[in-house]
Amino acid sequence: MSGNVLPLGTAFAERRLRASARQALLFATECALGVVSVVLVGFLAHWLQWLLPVVVLLYLLIVVPVALWCGFWQAAVVSLSAVAVQSYFTARMARTNPAVDPANPIELFVFILTALVISRLSARVTEHARSSDSWGGQMQDLYEFTRRTLQMNLHVEPGLQLAELVHEIFALEAVVIFDADLHETYQAGYWNVDPQELAQSVYYFESSDDDAETGIARRVLRLGNVPIGSIVLRGETSPLTNNAIASLIAVTFDRYRAFANESRIETERQTEQLRSTVLDALAHEYKTPLTAIRAASTGLSEMGKLSAGQADLVSLISEQTDLLSDLTTKLLTTARLDADEVTVHAVPIGVASLIDEVVAGMSERLATMKLTIDVPDEGLVLCCDRRLMTMLLTQYIDNACKYAIFGTTITIRAVQSKNEVIFSVHSFGPEIPMADRERIFDRYYRSANTSNRAAGTGIGLSVAKRAATIHNGYVWVTSDQDEGNTFFAAIPAQTRKRES
């Protein structure tokens, strides 16, 4: 900190000193006016030879307004001066010693007692009125602050807007707000210390207090019992107002996060919808040229009279055309699944025969692999959509073929567990990191541990997940370096035993 920068709260303390000096001057002025009034009344009473009761009543007429409008200590000073003045004039008239005059102590007691009672009642009424006015003003400020936070633009971070609103509405010297979630500090007004360090200290040490000497108020922003930031205020505010400000800011932060999350979800939904539409359009457009290419390659093969090199090229064209056709089919299926354009035709299907059918369709793919099928209950029947379940199992088995270590066994299993049929495909391959075990079912996502081992688009497992979801089922994966990888699909559709 530079040498010419004042310590925290010095400006506030200087204003308090100036206010105290003004109050002292006002006190002296009020006392002087009261004493002058008493002297004038005493002189007039002595000149006109008024009786003592009349003079006491006149003194009371001076003491009471002073006590009512100025306060107890001013009234006490005026009372003492009235006793002194009256003693002086009485001594001159009676030529007696005022110290032994029995009326003087009684007069002093009456004056001070009257001043005490009236000043206390007046102070109480005045303080009550002042508190009512102050609280009414604070309530109005809080209402205005609440209204403007509800109208706030939540498309941008609210921290700076809130700091400026608090600074403006409550007429504070300076405000600083710390958002712990974004780790950002927002300030309004002038701070003669580092406001970021000040606000972060309040958050990390959870120190909420009000310092009357410096005019600094500190509050931790909380949602329930969870701290989410802090606020530091410099100026004249009440503790209740500070608590209300902190609560409103915390609620606004929560509204901003909820709004941002809702906007993000809606944006993702629209993006996914657009992506599905584009995929569907592209897939349809690809179908026509792929059909023409396949027909041409088939025609060339059937024409014969091709050299060995030409035959290899035609075979390569046919093979790659089949791959493109398969990818196009996946894209069309994915787009339709996401658009909920698939109609589920649930029929009773034997689980064992369903697995056999899928394996038969992938015979070429599984030709070099060791395969084990384990269905303990051969009579197990699942009420499901055959096409969707075939798609799910095909994706699981194809994924196992891609990443299984050569020479290891792929195990396909299906068991009934309560009201679910659980399919699983086990293989030995690279371990899937814990962070990827949820995301690999997302479209286009590929685990970093497996993305370089085999070509892929990241579509297959998302199709399997969608097929299970349509059946009100769910999917998951377990992975261990020694135990291998197992992909599961639980289908809670109606099941029953096949009748013998």
* Cα 283 from Cα 433, distance rounded (Å): 33
Q: List, for residues 199-252, the tens digit of each pLDDT value.
A: 999 999 888 888 877 788 999 999 888 899 999 999 888 888 889 999 999 999
Position 340 pLDDT exceeds 90: no
Higher pLDDT pick, 118 / 208: 208
Q: In the prediction, which pLDDT does 78 show?
A: 80
Residues linked to residue 109 through DSSP beta bridges, in sequence order:
none
* Cα 5 from Cα 8, distance rounded (Å): 9
Q: In the prediction, which pLDDT does 29 show?
A: 86
Alpha-carbon dihedral angle through residues 14, 15, 19, 21, given to the nearest 10 degrees: 20
CB 464 within 8 A of CB 391: yes
Q: In the prediction, which pLDDT does 128 show?
A: 67
Q: In the prediction, which pLDDT does 499 show?
A: 43
Q: List, for residues 37-49, the tens digit of each pLDDT value.
A: 888 887 887 777 6
Alpha-helical regions (H) of 225-307:
239-303
Residues linked to residue 226 through DSSP beta bridges, in sequence order:
223
Position 179 pLDDT exceeds 70: yes
Position 495 pLDDT exceeds 80: no
Contacts 24+ apart (CB under 8 A), 317-322: 317/293, 318/294, 321/290, 321/293, 321/294, 321/297, 322/294
Q: In the prediction, which pLDDT does 463 show?
A: 82
Q: Residue 13's pLDDT band (boundaries 50, 70, 90)?
A: low
Across 465-490, average pLDDT: 90
Residue showing tokens 């060339």: 300
Q: In the prediction, which pLDDT does 2 show?
A: 38
Higher pLDDT pick, 113 / 193: 193
Q: List, for residues 400-448, the tens digit of each pLDDT value.
A: 998 888 889 999 999 998 889 999 999 998 888 887 887 888 766 666 5
Across the beta sheet with 216-223, what order do the strands follow? 184-189, 174-179, 226-234, 216-223, 209-211
Least confident of 138-142, 180-184, 271-275: 271-275
**Domains (range + CATH), the chain:** 10-139 (no CATH), 152-341 (3.30.450), 346-497 (3.30.565.10)
Best CA proximity match to 412, nearest among 376, 381, 388 = 376
Residues linked to residue 360 through DSSP beta bridges, in sequence order:
none
Q: List, for residues 75-93, the tens digit of each pLDDT value.
A: 778 877 877 777 777 766 6
Q: Residue 4's pLDDT band (boundaries 50, 70, 90)?
A: very low
Q: Which amino acid is at 485?
A: N
330: left (phi over 0), alpha (psi -120 to 50) or beta: alpha
Q: In the prediction, which pLDDT does 441 show?
A: 83
CB 401 within 8 A of CB 365: yes
Position 305 pLDDT exceeds 80: no
- Contact partners, residue 299, CB within 8 Å, separation at least 6: none
Best CA proximity match to 485, nearest among 440, 446, 430 = 430
Averaged confidence pLDDT in the chain = 78
Q: In the prediction, which pLDDT does 409 show?
A: 92
Higher pLDDT pick, 130 / 69: 69
